[in-house]
Amino acid sequence: MVISITSVTALLLSSLLFGGMVLFSFGFAVFVLKHLPTDVARSLIRKAFPIYYLLVAVIAVLAGLAALPSDPVSAAILLTIAVTTLAARQALMPSINAATDRGDRRAFAILHGFSVLLQIGQIVAAAIVLVRF
């Protein structure tokens, strides 16, 4: 079996993507919301999520480009993660914040629920890529 530098790079970046998404979603965010006062937690989460989304998108693009020569399907999955993450960062996150700011609990619940489902879907997609490698 011949292993190329691009396939190793794709595997390492995809592993970083998957691990980072799981750690942030089920570790950092949960920890912050559980252990800090609500106003402090919300402020910290609002500051962290734009950076998190940007890192996820960049890593997914790099992993997708690295995967392209050896596995176009995985590359497409990774690039889809990047595109949906940028959409979440630019549209969904501001909508969630606006709903919170105006006290619209129903809109917040719907939008946040969608963002959670999207995040879980992206984590599953990243896991699928890892299994494919």
Does residue 1 surpass a pLDDT of 70? no
The pair of structure tokens assigned to 97 is 């914040």
Contact 133, 14 (CB under 8 A): yes
Determine the Cα–Cα distance for residues 83 and 46; give it in Å rounded to an integer: 20
What is the extent of the structural domain holding 15?
5-132
Please give the mean pLDDT across all residues of the chain: 94
Q: pLDDT band at 3, cuts 50/70/90?
A: confident
Does residue 113 surpass a pLDDT of 80? yes
Q: What is the pLDDT of residue 2?
A: 52
Tally of domains in the chain: 1
The pTM for the full model equals 0.90
Query: Mean pLDDT over residues 103-121, rounded?
Result: 96
Report CA torsion sign: 104, 106, 107, 112: positive
DSSP H helical ranges for 24-37: 29-35
The pair of structure tokens assigned to 114 is 């969608």
pLDDT digits (tens, 9 = 90+) for 23-81: 999 999 889 989 999 889 989 999 999 999 999 999 999 999 999 999 999 999 999 99
Query: Mean pLDDT over residues 77-103, rounded?
Result: 96
In whole angstroms, how far apart are CA 119 and each of 5, 7, 19, 67, 112?
29, 25, 13, 21, 10
